[in-house]
Structure 1
Amino acid sequence: MIGSIAGDIIGSVYEHRPIKTKDFPLFHSHCDFTDDTVLTVAVADAILSGAPYVDSVRRIGRRYPGAGYGGSFIRWLHSDDPRPYNSWGNGSAMRVSPVGFAFSTEDEVLRQ
């Protein structure tokens, strides 16, 4: 989980401007966390508090409106009736690390 957050911050400046070198500064003044860090923390919060995932994601996600969410996610975040919207994105894969950290069996992970 720490690695995914560090990678998000380090890579934030290259998200829409990829580079072709391995020689770059890891941290500088333009690095910042993104929606992936915010929602990774929200997933961890749900696990630690026992709150429903949807509640933690919406509560924490709303605290950081400029984190870089996609349009469909923003609509879901502020919807009165948050339902699955069949995203084609890969965000869930980038935010799921707390589940693997917190649960040790395949059955436990699948129940999440």
Structure 2
Amino acid sequence: MIDMDFKGLEDKFIGTLLGTAIGDTLGVPFEGQIREQIIRYFDDFDEFIDKNHNIFRTYSDDTQLTIHTVKAIIRAGGIEEEILIDEFIKWLNDPPIGAGFGCLSSIRKLSNGIPWKNAASNSGGNGTAMRISPIGLFYSNNIEQLKKAASLNSNITHSHPAAEAGARVVAASIAFLLYKDPNKGFSINE
């Protein structure tokens, strides 16, 4: 771990959360399309942006649930099951933007009092990895707690092991990169 002042760490937290929202917003118009379809839009990137800047109007449920994960962490001083579930249920009032069926149906079941172990879909979708950045940030200095929190965050809506693995890998990657100097780079062997 490198020595980092609070401002440097704060900037990385803010950058990670803003990057999540910006990446989500840039990706929304292409969600569900295959690579070959997306590539066709970008023969001339500048021309594409000039002609299509209005398609980047909103973020999706990925950013919404990231925000609710942040709120849960702030409320509990970490990840606590009941508070995280409460925040996910509050998301239903946002209203959800572009939510996947598995996630939406799971959280609706939670709002009707069904325990999360029975409410979660068996989806291996990437939604859990998309909302996990706050856990990678908050638990960056405790990998065991990070794994537990990422697993809980995932399993509440997506009980498939692939979804849980994706959430844990993304959270751990964020934690790893948080303490790296972007001017120095890093080795894949680290």
TM-score by shorter chain over 0.5: yes
Q: CA deviation at 1:66?
A: 4.4
Which one of the candidate residues 75, 81, 102 is aligned to 2:105?
Answer: 75
Q: CA deviation at 1:29?
A: 2.5
Which one of the candidate residues 42, 49, 68 is aligned to 1:25?
Answer: 49
The residue type paired with residue 29 of structure 1 is: N
- Name structure 1 gaps, 5 residues minimum: none
Q: CA deviation at 1:82?
A: 4.5
Equivalence for 2:136: 100
Distance in 2 (alpha carbons) for counterparts of 1:77 and 1:107: 26
Q: What is the count of residue pairs matched by the alignment?
A: 111
Q: Percent identity?
A: 28
CA RMSD across the alignment: 2.3
Report which of the two has the higher share of helix.
Answer: 2
Q: How does 1:29-40 map to 2 (within 5 A)?
A: 29-31=54-56, 32-40=58-66
Please identify the structure whose Cα radius of gyration is greater.
Answer: 2
**Structure with more relative contact order (C-alpha pairs < 8 Å, separation 6 or more):** 1
Equivalence for 1:12: 28
Distance in 1 (alpha carbons) for counterparts of 2:105 and 2:66: 19
Distance in 2 (alpha carbons) for counterparts of 1:95 and 1:72: 15
Q: What's the TM-score, normalizing by structure 1? A: 0.82
Task: Describe the SS at the equivalent of 1:19.
Answer: helix
What are the Cα deviations for residues 78-112 of structure 1, in whole angstroms up to 9, with x where unaligned? 22114222222111111100001112220231232
- Name structure 2 gaps, 5 residues minimum: 1-16, 150-190
Q: Structure 1 pair 72/108, CA: closer, same or farther in 2 (3 Å)?
A: closer
Q: What's the TM-score, normalizing by structure 2? A: 0.52
Distance in 2 (alpha carbons) for counterparts of 1:87 and 1:9: 23
Q: Structure 1 pair 66/48, CA: closer, same or farther in 2 (3 Å)?
A: closer
Distance in 2 (alpha carbons) for counterparts of 1:33 and 1:48: 22
Distance in 2 (alpha carbons) for counterparts of 1:77 and 1:63: 11
Task: Describe the SS at the equivalent of 2:55.
Answer: coil
